Amino acid sequence: MIKKGGIVTENLNNQGREPSHLLTGKICITARGNNLQAEIDPHFGRAAFFLIINPESTTFEAIENPSVHQAHGAGIQSAQFLLDKGVSILITGQVGPNAQRVFESGGIKVITGESGPAEQALARFKAQAKK
């Protein structure tokens, strides 16, 4: 694991996880901590961390949400942040309507209603993607 400021980068191969050849683009999971064992943070705009997974290189970054303490517009700012990071898929608990509009206009697929450890949500997503 490599930590730089608010970003933690880790190789998923060290954990025995292989990316599905069907997955392309970056996947983001909202989390309460900076690793895949962390619980999913249910509130997108105020999530503590964004785990950005690159299935092609089998690495992920844990980035502290720069908008977590915003008084207003945290969801919109967080959504734009993920667009700028090149995220294609978001896995989270819930997303507000303003952030949802940003995702729709940016072409990001949003999966809501997730809970539990981030690694389990990722495994469920990969299993569904293979079907």
The predicted-structure confidence for 71-112, as pLDDT tens digits, reads as follows 899 999 999 999 999 999 999 999 999 999 999 999 999 999
8 Å CB contact between 118 and 31: yes
Tell me the CATH class for 2-130.
alpha beta
- The residue type of 38 is A
Strands annotated E in the chain: 2-4, 7-11, 26-31, 49-54, 59-64, 87-91, 109-111
Domain boundaries, the chain: 2-130
Cα separation, 45 vs 66, whole angstroms:
10
The predicted-structure confidence for 16-67, as pLDDT tens digits, reads as follows 433 343 356 899 999 999 999 999 999 999 999 999 998 877 789 999 999 9
Cα separation, 66 vs 75, whole angstroms:
11
Q: Confidence class of residue 2 from pLDDT cuts 50, 70 and 90?
A: very low
Q: Look at residue 25 in the predicted model and tell me its pLDDT.
A: 85
Q: Can you give the pTM of this predicted structure?
A: 0.82
- The number of C-alpha atoms within 13 Å of 74 and in the hemisphere containing its C-beta is 15
